[in-house]
Amino acid sequence: MPTSALVFPPAVDMDVLVSSAQIAERVAELGREISKDYQGQSTGHPLVLIGVLKGAAIFLSDLARAIQIDNTFDFVAVSSYGRARVSSGAVKLIKDIDNPIEGRHVILVEDILDTGLTLSYLRGLMLQHKPASLKIATCLDKPERRLVPIEADYVGFKIPNRFVIGYGMDYAEVYRNVPDIRIFPNDAGH
């Protein structure tokens, strides 16, 4: 569908599901929890955060600073399977990690855990690199939508089955900059 056919209502008119203040508070908590969990777990190298572009970029940048132990970050990108969300075969790696993660403690950082197809694919891929450990942090979790069994180790907020935008999350690439997480009207993205 050409972008011109899409409608982009103003984000300020959309209902807030999670406010920027709630996000900040929760990210700080997750940062403390992760710091505690990885304290003394050193492999001689810093913890690696791997963000899934582009949605997780904002969550990762906040989380990285909320974690009180040294960390580095890298990014992967996967193909979007759009609105069809058909099969796991539809998930494809577009950009791989830049630096080796063998023997490192790694956390995959995602914006939303929805059907689980993306993260189960990425988890399998990252495990092939033989990290010392691999965990998952997601800003949002929509447990109702799961098609494959996968859970995150660190969850910002469990949310109902609504299409949301903001805090890195988009509708057709728009609204990633919105500071609050808001509900896109009429579930138009699903």
How many residues bind to ligand IMP according to rule CB under 6 A? 15
Q: How many helices (H) and strands (E) in the chain?
A: 3, 9
Q: Which is nearer to ligand IMP, 17 or 47 (CB)?
A: 17
50 binds, among ligand IMP, Mg ion, none (CB under 5 to 8 A by kind): none
Q: Indicate whether 156 belongs to the interface with ligand IMP (CB under 6 A).
A: no
Using CA atoms, how far residue 35 sits from 47, 61, 62, 106, in Å, is 10, 15, 14, 13
Q: Which is nearer to Mg ion, 26 or 54 (CB)?
A: 54
| Binding-site string for ligand IMP from residue 80 to residue 109, where x marks contact by CB under 6 A and - marks none | ------------------------------
3-state secondary structure of 142: coil
Element (H, E) at 124: helix 117-127
- Torsion, Cα 139 144 148 154, to 10 degrees, reads 30
Residues 46-65 that bind Mg ion (CB under 5 A): 55
Q: Which of 160, 165, 123 is nearest to 141 (CA)?
A: 160
Q: Indicate whether 31 belongs to the interface with Mg ion (CB under 5 A).
A: no
| Binding-site string for ligand IMP from residue 50 to residue 69, where x marks contact by CB under 6 A and - marks none | -----x--------------
Q: Indicate whether 117 belongs to the interface with ligand IMP (CB under 6 A).
A: yes
Q: Which residue of the set 114, 141, 170, 180 is catalytic?
A: 114
Residue 114 annotated in active site? yes
Q: Which of 132, 124, 156 is nearest to 46 (CA)?
A: 132
* Bridge partner residues of 75 (DSSP): 51
Q: Which residues are at the interface with ligand IMP (CB under 6 A)?
A: 55, 110-119, 163-164, 169, 189
